[in-house]
Chain A
């Protein structure tokens, strides 16, 4: 109870005051936002089985969008610990190294060894460093890092599970029409990051306020095995939302199969001023807490 009270009093004391710390929903510099594992030949499944190949894709965000990436990654096995950063139980079964940045979304293909004895509690782990628009230093060392000092360390654990098995897990899916702005469809931008706004982008005016919405589908809420009557019967999904400018009302939204319209809505206030036009990037990640993820990017053009 003491911890609860401490949390409440410290947190409540800050509400209503301008928080000097950077908001989690504000993209000010390069950040890794999501990792999605897709099994080869069964892209919706995020749990490869021994002998199967899979690819991990990474959503890296920057203020200007579409970064070049460098990375040092490895895949290994781990167990689900009660807390702390996961560690490899054995020598990694896959590695990838890209010391100089290359354009495009980072991807890490790997194959799960066929003779991997997957037992209850054994999980997969992808860990390493990924950098946006930066060289990778110390690639050959035990501590590779981004040359420009950005924090690119990551850890992502997932389950092993063949299709139809008890541990199989599907990634949720942010389909093309999942996102809307003020109730209107908000489709992906067709142009890359530029200083000017493509005409295909939606425009918003400086100082305006808007509602962003993310809609999921009923099939995204997979059934769960109940260990007790109090356990939920279906997944609960966490939607994270980020913007490179303006202010989002909150950074996370929870959705259940019972949520109205299976939609998360969050307010966004555009910057109060703009010089000319400004391209603003938005990122959304949907997670099921078991390793299943999907992400989407959108953009707006800010005009005076």
Chain B
């Protein structure tokens, strides 16, 4: 033990004899000699590990100083990054376009109520009501064609249109639907 390196705590007792007693015990343990043959066993262990190749030293010829090593390392990094990116991209499903909307088919829910085959039909808007249907215009200016042999169809004279003639053509009454 080197006496020049003796620390300043060895003879220092700040709190009476108890700490020095405790430190005496620790000092006693700290002074215990190493077992015989310790160095030889350590040497043997190191030699055995070197022989087994368990200690893998980085080859000095492959140090990062060499240019090709740097290039290979950079290429490997680029390859790994690009491959990883492509792997992620290929695994993500592409979102459907806006025109096609994929709806999941409705299947029977396990344990739920069934619809008993009923189909839901959506309500549609009511169509427009026809209140005043257009009446067909009668050609007044043209001469009525004669239908020979049919006594009920006679030419209408002027002034007889709104009259009380039995054979006058009445306008069609609106039909309420």
Bound pair (A, B): no
Which B residues contact A (CB, under 8 angstroms)? none
